[in-house]
Amino acid sequence: MSRSLLAAAIALTLPSMAAAETLTLYTSQPNADAQQTVDAFMAANPDIDVEWVRDGTTKMMARVAAEIEAGAPQADVLLIADMVTLEGLAQAGQLAAYTSPEDAAYDASLYSAEGFYHSTKLITTGIVYNTGADMVPTSWADLAKPEMADLVAMPSPLYSGAALIHLATVTGTEGLGWGYYEGLAANNTRAEGGNGGTFKAVAAGEKPYGVLVDFLAIRAKAKGSPVEFVFPEEGVSYVTEPVAIMAGTKHMKAAEKFVDFLLSEAGQELVVDMGYIPARNGVASPEGFPSRDEITLMAFDPAKALADTDTNKARFAKVFDIQ
């Protein structure tokens, strides 16, 4: 091939090589879930590449804060554990508002009214019990009954983000409130660590009952673990792994496409494939989980939960005599 023809061939390929836009995602998803999410999005949007960084929510938010402080935020999109975390960023003016056409398929409580964040799944907190337990609980109130003394384990809201959201939800629910937690404390309920420790205690029979996120119990039951999961009659608290766009991103259109994809039916089927309850109405839950219309979501206000965080932690520590 002559030099002129070679140059022409290179010139023809350069536009397509430069066409791919790069989106940077910061996420707290497990690595396998994050890779599956990115791969599916890029397959549906071959003109957009996604580079992703994964860490726990607390560490990821510290990284985001440090980058903002330095005046050099790196992320275009966030996919983080809970709405309270993103509510804080929204109030600080760090998120871009975006109204997705997919929002219509979601309960209004699952996305920011201003469009700052959008829920992508439901990870609910309910009751787990060992199949050897004497009683089958059906409500949150059951766990605070006198006969449950020394029998219940739960993750601590001083350690677990989901447990802190559960605390904010339950204490704001009529008929439960702080009196419920005082009843748990009086029963010598064990409140420590995260969901993993609670699950192990119940599965081993050390504590017959526990407060737990749904997928840990339901997946373990499918593998033969002697546990059952209950969606209490009062309803369940939940975290939703919302997605948000960072203010000032130079890739707004690509970021909007990422949000739309996660909220679309295809994106929600991906959530189901990963073994989580979809946030979108009309999408079937994974095997072993109830359908969306069978799950009662307790009322939850992310802005109030954010404002009450320190107060709730301090009061919980006092009620449970944690130094």
**Same domain, yes or no, for 269 and 312?**
no
The per-residue pLDDT for 323 is: 83
Strands across the sheet with 95-96, in order? Answer: 48-54, 21-27, 77-79, 243-246, 95-96
Q: Is the pLDDT of residue 18 over 60?
A: no
Q: Is the pLDDT of residue 111 over 80?
A: yes
Residue range 122-133: mean pLDDT, rounded: 98
**Same domain, yes or no, for 151 and 283?**
no
pLDDT tens-digit readout, 265-318: 999 999 999 999 999 999 999 999 999 889 999 999 999 999 999 999 999 999
**Same domain, yes or no, for 308 and 191?**
yes
Q: Is the pLDDT of residue 2 over 90?
A: no
212: domain range? 123-238+302-319
Show Cβ contacts of residue 37 under 8 Å, excluding neighbours closer than 6 positions.
Answer: 27, 29, 79, 262, 270
Determine, yes or no, domain membership for 308.
yes
The per-residue pLDDT for 14 is: 46
**Same domain, yes or no, for 113 and 247?**
yes
**Same domain, yes or no, for 225 and 279?**
no
**Same domain, yes or no, for 202 and 315?**
yes
The per-residue pLDDT for 16 is: 44
Determine, yes or no, domain membership for 295.
no
Confidence band for 154, pLDDT divided at 50, 70 and 90: very high
**Same domain, yes or no, for 93 and 168?**
no
Determine, yes or no, domain membership for 216.
yes
pLDDT tens-digit readout, 53-87: 999 999 999 999 999 999 999 999 999 999 999 99
Determine, yes or no, domain membership for 296.
no
Which residue type, as a one-letter code, is found at position 5? L
pLDDT tens-digit readout, 213-230: 999 999 999 999 999 999
**Same domain, yes or no, for 184 and 311?**
yes
Which of 25, 91, 24, 94 has its CA nearest to residue 65? 94
What does the alpha-carbon distance between residue 161 and residue 167 come to, in Å, rounded to a whole number?
10
Determine, yes or no, domain membership for 213.
yes
Maximum CA pair distance of the chain? Answer: 89
pTM over 0.85: yes
What does the alpha-carbon distance between residue 188 and residue 147 come to, in Å, rounded to a whole number?
11
Mean pLDDT of the chain: 94
Percentage, residues of the chain above pLDDT 70: 94
Domain count, the chain: 2
The per-residue pLDDT for 19 is: 60
**Same domain, yes or no, for 67 and 106?**
yes
| SS3 call for 111 | strand
Dihedral sign for Cα atoms in the order 137, 141, 143, 144: negative
Determine, yes or no, domain membership for 294.
no
What does the alpha-carbon distance between residue 265 and residue 282 come to, in Å, rounded to a whole number?
9
Determine, yes or no, domain membership for 297.
no
**Same domain, yes or no, for 190 and 312?**
yes
